[in-house]
């Protein structure tokens, strides 16, 4: 399981480098990122959040109903993703695995078209709306050194910082450790369902 770097670690402020080589090592790294994302739990995770400043993300925005019915897109592992089209606007309550225990409404494009590569070196184009569109924008922001709190008003950002100061002692070195737990182990823990 990977460690998740938390605000205000410097790696979260860096612009990530493009991935130059898509190989088995990167594919294994993305699989481990996915395990970390599911265990956290979240719906998206960017490589800088786990200490690799390269342009790679994982997402799984399918609902339990979609999984049960065999619908949805399943796990997405995207390399060098870029938004090539964006339209409309939507307000979405966002959280982040790197900004612990804080959520806020953020205005995003309601629809996006993203171009990326898969671990199989295939170029893909994804049209997305709703949660998937928001998650793609959120994770691609991580690759550009941006956090969702950067979109907030000064007042809301100040509130986030104050809350973080109270939580900081729980994350020495700005590191959040996650482990695989059964659903019964997680009962009693508060997690926003859609942390990105």
Region of residue 94 (phi > 0: left; psi between -120 and 50: alpha; otherwise: beta): beta
Give a yes or no: residue 195 inside a domain: no
Give the pLDDT confidence of 31-78 residue by residue, as tens digits: 999 999 999 999 999 999 999 999 999 999 987 777 777 787 899 999
In a domain, 75, yes or no: yes
Distances (CA, A) of 156 to 40, 105, 109: 25, 10, 21
Residues of the domain holding 68: 3-186
Instruction: Establish if 121 belongs to a structural domain.
Output: yes
Q: Lowest-confidence range among 13-17, 94-98, 100-104?
A: 100-104
CATH of the domain at 10: 3.90.45.10
180 pLDDT exceeds 90? no
Active site residues: 139
Report the C-alpha gap between 27 and 116 in whole angstroms: 14
27 vs 178, more confident: 27
Q: Are 99 and 149 in contact (CB under 8 A)?
A: yes
User: How many domains would you assign to the chain?
Assistant: 1
């Amino acid at each position: 399981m990977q460690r998740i770097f938390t605000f205000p670690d410097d790696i979260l402020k860096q612009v990530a480098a493009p991935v130059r080589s898509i190989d088995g090592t990167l594919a294994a790294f993305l699989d481990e990122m996915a395990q970390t994302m599911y265990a956290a739990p979240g719906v998206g995770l960017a490589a800088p959040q786990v200490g690799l400043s390269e342009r790679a993300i994982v997402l799984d925005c399918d609902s339990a109903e979609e999984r049960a019915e065999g619908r949805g897109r399943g796990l997405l592992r995207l390399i060098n993703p870029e938004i090539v089209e964006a339209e409309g606007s939507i307000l979405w309550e966002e959280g982040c695995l790197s900004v612990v225990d804080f959520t806020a409404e953020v205005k995003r494009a309601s629809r996006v078209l993203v171009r990326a590569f898969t671990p199989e070196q295939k170029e893909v184009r994804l049209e997305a709306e709703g949660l998937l569109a928001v998650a793609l924008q959120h994770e691609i922001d991580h690759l550009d050194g941006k956090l969702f709190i950067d979109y907030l008003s000064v007042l809301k950002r100040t509130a986030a910082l104050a809350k973080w100061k109270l939580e900081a002692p729980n994350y020495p070195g700005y590191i959040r450790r996650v482990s695989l737990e059964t659903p019964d182990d997680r009962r009693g823990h508060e997690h926003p369902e859609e942390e990105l």
